[in-house]
Amino acid sequence: MADVSSLPIPAKEDLDTNLDDVLQQDLVTVEATLLDDVMSDEQYLIQSRRAFIGGAAGTATLGTVAMCACGCQGRQKFFANMMNNGMSDYEALPQVQQFKSQLFDHIAVGDDIMEIGIGSGPNLKYYADKSIGKLMALEPNREFDEYIIQNVAKSNLQTKVDIVPGVAESIPKADNSVDVVVGTMVMCSVSSVKQSLAEVYRVLKPGGRYIYTEHIAAPQTAKALACAQQLADPLQQALAEGCHLRRDPEHEIIQTFGQENVNSERFVLSSDDILPPHFLLSPHLIGVATKT
Ligand SMILES: C[S@@+](CC[C@H](N)C(=O)[O-])C[C@H]1O[C@@H](n2cnc3c(N)ncnc32)[C@H](O)[C@@H]1O
């Protein structure tokens, strides 16, 4: 221990001056804090963000635990129901109907179509006026079957729909056998984007088209949205059977089909139209890629 007996004893005036300094510093600190409280939106944002992160983390944990407890079939049933009923407002958005109509115009009379990850069949109505050839509905989740059957009945589609159990990573079709592959919001969910696209390319005939719409990672310019996607991603994957909010398959599509054969567009759906939780899906990549 240090020997304090030899330390100089400060004079009373020095002590008063030091005390004044300390008090002055404290006043400056208090003043700065008060100024911050009044002035700083940033402080407010940080507090809100902390509350949001806490809430989101809690909800994510509870949701994940609940979904794990549900069991595989329960989760698949929940997801199929959520896609069939929970996405109807998204499907009804004029912007969505417009870009889907334009993309589905790349289907010609008599085309044989393979829709990968068809879900409940929200695209069936876009085939109805096209006199298509065969329609094969590739879907790994059997809980969607009853919704597909119901939605075929509602769609005025004249063509028989074959529900094909399977995954995009291994499409049960011969090489060069399909005119059009359709995939809407599917690359978010597959185990391997690269392998799925290789399979899409393999089964397409030369001149065949891959029509896609994907929700993707928010652009760097939309920092708040990117942050919200990051926070919600674990819960989304748990609730939506492995659907990732932060993927962007454009690079892999270009690598598979070649830059000159890919016609893509990226945009963020108007925030006036799109309500939570769909705003997390608002950044979009849509397009048509052609096999040469
Ligand atoms: C977000 S949902 C989209 C469903 C539908 N295409 C739509 O637009 O509403 C993702 C779909 O991909 C399916 N899916 C998941 N993994 C898949 C895989 N490896 N191959 C093909 N489909 C898959 C899911 O079962 C689900 O139907």
Judgement on whether residues 115 and 257 belong to the same structural domain of the protein: yes
184 CA to middle of ligand 1, Å? 8
143: Cβ below 6 Å to ligand 1?
A: no
Residue 270: what pLDDT?
Answer: 84
| Positions in the chain short of pLDDT 70 | 1-70
Residue 59: what pLDDT?
Answer: 53
Q: How far is CA 124 from CA 78, 104, 219, in A?
A: 22, 11, 30
Domain stop point among 40, 71, 90: 90
Q: Which atom of ligand 1 approaches the CA of 191 most closely?
A: 19
Judgement on whether residues 126 and 241 belong to the same structural domain of the protein: yes
Residue 57: what pLDDT?
Answer: 52
274: Cβ below 6 Å to ligand 1?
A: no
Judgement on whether residues 257 and 168 belong to the same structural domain of the protein: yes
Residue 104: what pLDDT?
Answer: 98
Domain stop point among 41, 59, 90: 90
DSSP state string for 129-171: TS--S-EEEEES-GGGHHHHHHHHHHTT--SPEEEEE--GGG-
Q: Whole-angstrom Cα distance, residue 76 to residue 145? A: 12
Which of 229, 243, 188, 206 has its CA nearest to residue 78?
243
Judgement on whether residues 237 and 249 belong to the same structural domain of the protein: yes
Judgement on whether residues 151 and 40 belong to the same structural domain of the protein: no
Judgement on whether residues 172 and 272 belong to the same structural domain of the protein: yes
Are 253 and 182 in contact by the 8 Å Cβ rule? The answer is no
Judgement on whether residues 157 and 253 belong to the same structural domain of the protein: yes
pLDDT digits (tens, 9 = 90+) for 99-112: 999 999 999 999 99
Are 256 and 200 in contact by the 8 Å Cβ rule? The answer is yes
Which tokens in the block code for residue 202? 């393999």
Residue 56: what pLDDT?
Answer: 52
Q: Which residues pair with 19 in a beta bridge?
A: none
Residue 42: what pLDDT?
Answer: 47
Judgement on whether residues 78 and 146 belong to the same structural domain of the protein: no
Residue 73: what pLDDT?
Answer: 86
Residue 278: what pLDDT?
Answer: 87
139 CA to middle of ligand 1, Å? 7
Q: Whole-angstrom Cα distance, residue 68 to residue 63? A: 8
57 CA to middle of ligand 1, Å? 26
Residue 40: what pLDDT?
Answer: 42
Domain stop point among 27, 57, 90: 90
CATH number of the domain that residue 158 is part of: 3.40.50.150
Residue 67: what pLDDT?
Answer: 58
Residue 62: what pLDDT?
Answer: 54
Judgement on whether residues 116 and 217 belong to the same structural domain of the protein: yes
Judgement on whether residues 48 and 176 belong to the same structural domain of the protein: no
pLDDT digits (tens, 9 = 90+) for 79-130: 999 999 999 999 999 999 999 999 999 999 999 999 999 999 999 999 999 9
Q: Which domain holds residue 74?
A: 4-90
Prediction pTM value = 0.80
Judgement on whether residues 107 and 43 belong to the same structural domain of the protein: no
**Mutation choice for ligand 1 from 161, 186, 187, CB with most ligand atoms inside 8 A:** 186
244 CA to middle of ligand 1, Å? 11
* Residue 6 DSSP SS3: helix
191: Cβ below 6 Å to ligand 1?
A: yes
119 CA to middle of ligand 1, Å? 6
**Count of the separate structural domains present in the chain:** 2
Buried b (16+ CB within 10 A) or exposed e, 214-239: bbbbbeeebeebbebbebbbbbbbbb
Judgement on whether residues 209 and 164 belong to the same structural domain of the protein: yes
